[in-house]
Amino acid sequence: MNESHTTGTGPLDDGAAHLPVVDVSDTGMTSTPLQTAMGHARRLGPVFVQRFHDRETVFVSSAALVEELSDEERFVKGIGPALENVREVAADGLFTAYNDEPNWAKAHDILLPAFALTSMRTYHPHMLRVAKRLIGSWDARFAAGSGVSAPVDVAEDMTRMTLDTIGLSGFGYDFASFEREQAHPFVQALVRALAHSQAKLGRVPGADHTAEDEAFAADAAYLARVVDEVIERRKASGDTSTDDLLGLMLGSPHPRSGEVLDEANIRNQVITFLIAGHETTSGALSFALYHLLKNPAVLHLAQAETDALWGDDPDPEPAFEDIGKLRYVRQVLNETLRLWPTAAAFAREARADTVIGGRHPVRAGQRMLVLTPMLHRDPVWGDNVEEFDPDRFAAEAEAARSPHAYKPFGTGERACIGRQFALHEATMLLGMLVHRYRFLDEARYELRIKETLTLKPDGFTLALARRTPADRARGRAALGAVLPAGHGVEAEAPATGASPTRAVPGTRLTLLHGSNFGTCRAYAQDLADMAAELGFETRVAPLDDHRDGGLPADGPLVVVAASYNGRPTDDAAGFVSWLAQAGPGAAEGVHYAVLGVGDRNWAATYQQVPTLIDDRLASAGAARLMARSEADASGDLAGAVRGFTAGLRRTLLERYGDPASVAPSGEAEPPGPAYDVIEVTGGPLDALARRHDLRPMTVTHTGDLADLGHPAGRSKRFLRVRLPEGVGYRTADHLAVLPANDPGQVERAARVLGVDPDAVLDARTRRPGRTALPLDRPVTVRELLTRYVELQAPVTAGQAAVLAAHNPCPPEKAALERIAAGAGEAAGADGARPGSLVDLVGEHPALQGRLPWPVLLELLEPMRPRHYSISSSPSAGPGQADLMVSLLEAPHRSGRDGVFRGVGSSYLHRVRPGDTVLARVQPCREDFRIPHDERTPVIMIGAGTGLAPFRGAIADRRALYASGAELAPALCYFGCDHPDVDYLHRAELEEADREGAVSMRPAFSLAPEGEVRFVQHRIEAEGEEVWRLIGAGARVHVCGDGSRMAPGVREAFRKLCVKYGGQDASAASQWLQDLVAQGRYVEDVYVGG
């Protein structure tokens, strides 16, 4: 094997940066080409060229480069030599078709409904049937009277199971693999065919392979014959249903063209699914069992989850809904596929000449092979990438990573269409196995990997022992205190057929909130409204009302809480401090439930405080009414809150319901639609103001803060509002403003929804609460769409499901059901997001005019206030507050044409002097208030309009300086594009610098000084000074962009600790966490959207 470097002689275009080349022509490809390539990547880096005679392959494994290769605008799937060889068996099946082959798009569109949620429900019984076959086979390995089974061949049995599952679910054909001593001949031929495809990759030019090719041809003919028999059997049966893959292919025309698949392509698709539907899934299950065998702590957590769901029943009948509750088991599978993605590489091909990584030119049509196992070992996964750790796939950890760092199913529109099928099947089986058995490593197996285009553990066996109720009880006792709330699953109480509809008279319900911006307080009030309707006597209060304990034991307690940078909100700090010190018995007799509200964009602190409250209450002797629930502001927040509300309602009535109120229907929910609607005349905005506790405020000044005539100019707007009589604020507080939708968006929404904007509605909610629209008087449709509802919020799964239910067009209905099944994910396989509710209605024209107003009013989310840091000091201008607002303009995250403009920022860019806005002053967190004294240095860091609170603080310091006060040093690191374009309030701040009130430290991304482009670069460049101030007790305040700037600043401070503090990276991370915990490093940041 020879290694060298290339300067364009390989596949990359001339002028490319030097790439290492490894020539394996002399040594050959070996039987483990994938593992060999992984070794090259470890040695040569994330991009290298492998040469084998006249064939060169570029391997890529860097997460940053793969993110570029995943851009569907620049790259498409490539059919490399490996898939070219598989085409000899599968031809133009979905997996192996060329991008421009007509049958790919035709088959893809026809088959999509086969992988919708409704179809998964159809396949579930088949999956369960085969899973029980495997369990029966494993039970038969126990000799009479023996507590330990004979060894089971894991990979072979997983192959039997997955083959039977895809055969029954997809084609109604039973391979009956567990009734055979040897694998089904079809499997044997298929394995040989795949091995032949791989072996061809290593062929030396000129060698004679006639015998191998003839044997392969015989296997390929046998595979085709078996599949043709399956197809003919279905056609002869007279079954014309379209409930499975084969039925869809035989009986469904293309939803737009009306074309059907020809029989040759149907055969190719069946072979494709038999390959992809069992080889990869069986490998994933085999690897998962290996890792569970070698990681008993992980196995115990998985068992605890299944025990919580299925109790002591060793042979449960999992319902379809059960599988979604096995969240930790799913994390085990995800981590398995991280380490050993069974389809371990995928090719990408450039659509046009381009450059990746800023320095590697790529020709149009050039293929690159993503080495997925090494992508999954990129540094973004941490420094322990070989360790098996399912917590990498906890929700908060996933949200913190780029979605392009994890690609076990490929990428883009050619990604695996059957991933949900595979994951449902694998999650169910793995859950059933860990629930039933203990796994014994009697063979002391060491991992060896067999490669046949897919990956499997080679020669892996394990022995089994049946778990007993005593085993499960010991596991629950040992793990109950450490199993994360997100992993546990509560078994549902059996339905009684009748339940109370009212609480026992006099039952008290206490609802405590931890809320900085009012969201949790509003949710607590909504829950109180719901409970009051049921007859509870409710009390809503901040958590700090119980800062000394005294929690109520005479009725249920509900806590609705959020975190702020991982710390309690201002109205919960005292309570959390007490609870952290509370001993056993301090909450004895309390029965409680916790709803945690957070945002997964802040992965490091997501749900931190609600989790602490939940865990500490239990440790102090309180009893959970229900498992802690999570509501994610970056996901389906409203849906999560509705789910918690429904569960709480059910639990409260079960535990505290009055037997005299039992209704035979068991229904406590008022029947019928949520709204009664009639069309009448208009009304004012008083209800909106009351709902959000807003006051009218007059805009007195507006203006541009940036030079929009400059090519780099981006709109940043200055506003000054006059505060109402009696309303004041403190420096760094926020102004919460209720925006209005853009008139163009309103007209578009009316047109898309098929409603008359001048019609008048008189709507009255039948379900009062803060989640209902505040419609207490007539409004025009135009007023409704302008002021009352969100028009650009991403659609939720629940909304998409309602649209599907109301769509009379079958293809459109199926498309909406697919969106509903995937709307909770961060993005689809092609990186696009599903868009807004209005977008979806516009893209499915059968819905136009078919959504009645009661449905629309429930679908459209209420308009919410937006929060902006006040950029002035009350000492400089009492009775007025300044804002600086960047106009959010970006490509649609949904991939749609045009520019997305933020609702709030667009509104504030439209207002003019004399206009009135609805707003309120919202206090900032006390920790974010900037100290002005002689002892505490201050380091302020912001970019763009993140400067806002610091402008106010600098004005405070100027006033104190003018009065002769002694102040500790203050640095202000401020990032912008160019000093002549968007150095906001430049003259004012430079004057403050000259006076000595602050030391301004700007960084200009488009006019860098040396290596300094962003604030984090300047912090590093001036690290010695910054480190000295930190040592003197400085407090760090960060405001602005949370997606790029804030993480960059945190990394800069960790580097300072390494360089000047002599710490390693791990200790530096802990040091920064300690600063945060001490309130000396405080962020007030946001993610644009």
List the catalytic residues.
Answer: 280, 409, 416
Helical (H) or strand (E) element with 560: strand 557-564
Other residues' Cβ atoms within 10 Å of the Cβ of residue 505: 11
Annotated binding site: 416
What single DSSP character describes residue 786? I
d(CA 118, CA 351): 36
Instruction: Please say whether the beta carbons of 226 and 273 come within 8 A.
Output: no
d(CA 855, CA 640): 19
Instruction: Please say whether the beta carbons of 333 and 288 come within 8 A.
Output: yes
d(CA 168, CA 173): 5
Instruction: Please say whether the beta carbons of 66 and 214 come within 8 A.
Output: no
User: Exposed/middle/buried for 315, CB within 10 Å: 0-12, 13-18, 19+?
Assistant: exposed
User: What would the two tokens of residue 177 be?
Assistant: 């693999």
DSSP string, 283-312: HHHHHHHHHHHH-HHHHHHHHHHHHHHHTT
Helical (H) or strand (E) element with 803: helix 797-806
**Alpha-carbon Rg for the chain in angstroms:** 31
What is residue 749's three-state secondary structure? Answer: helix
Q: Which of 245, 641, 191 has the alpha carbon at shortest distance from 453?
A: 191
Q: Which of 598, 582, 592, 588 has the alpha carbon at shortest distance from 627?
A: 592
Beta strands in 808-951 (DSSP E): 866-869, 880-886, 889-891, 899-901, 916-922, 938-943
Phi first, then psi, for residue 844 (nearest 5°) are -130, 80
Helical (H) or strand (E) element with 165: helix 154-171
What is residue 234's three-state secondary structure? Answer: helix
Instruction: Please say whether the beta carbons of 757 and 729 come within 8 A.
Output: no
Instruction: Please say whether the beta carbons of 833 and 793 come within 8 A.
Output: no
Instruction: Please say whether the beta carbons of 920 and 693 come within 8 A.
Output: yes
> Partners of 557 in the beta sheet?
510, 592
d(CA 1011, CA 1025): 18
Beta strands in 113-160 (DSSP E): 152-153
Other residues' Cβ atoms within 10 Å of the Cβ of residue 856: 20
Q: In what order do the strands lie in the sheet with 461-466?
A: 152-153, 461-466, 437-440
Amino acid occupying residue 457: P
d(CA 19, CA 17): 6
Q: Which of 384, 394, 291, 402 has the alpha carbon at shortest distance from 337?
A: 291
Instruction: Please say whether the beta carbons of 674 and 767 come within 8 A.
Output: yes
d(CA 835, CA 922): 30
Which distant-in-sequence residues (6+ apart) come within 8 Å of 543 by Cβ?
A: 512, 513, 514, 559, 561, 568, 571, 572, 574, 575, 576
Helical (H) or strand (E) element with 273: helix 263-276
User: What would the two tokens of residue 745 be?
Assistant: 């968006």
Task: Report CA-CA distances (Å) from 580 to 514, 549, 566, 1017, 1082.
Answer: 15, 11, 14, 39, 22
Annotated binding site for heme: 416
Instruction: Please say whether the beta carbons of 765 and 673 come within 8 A.
Output: no
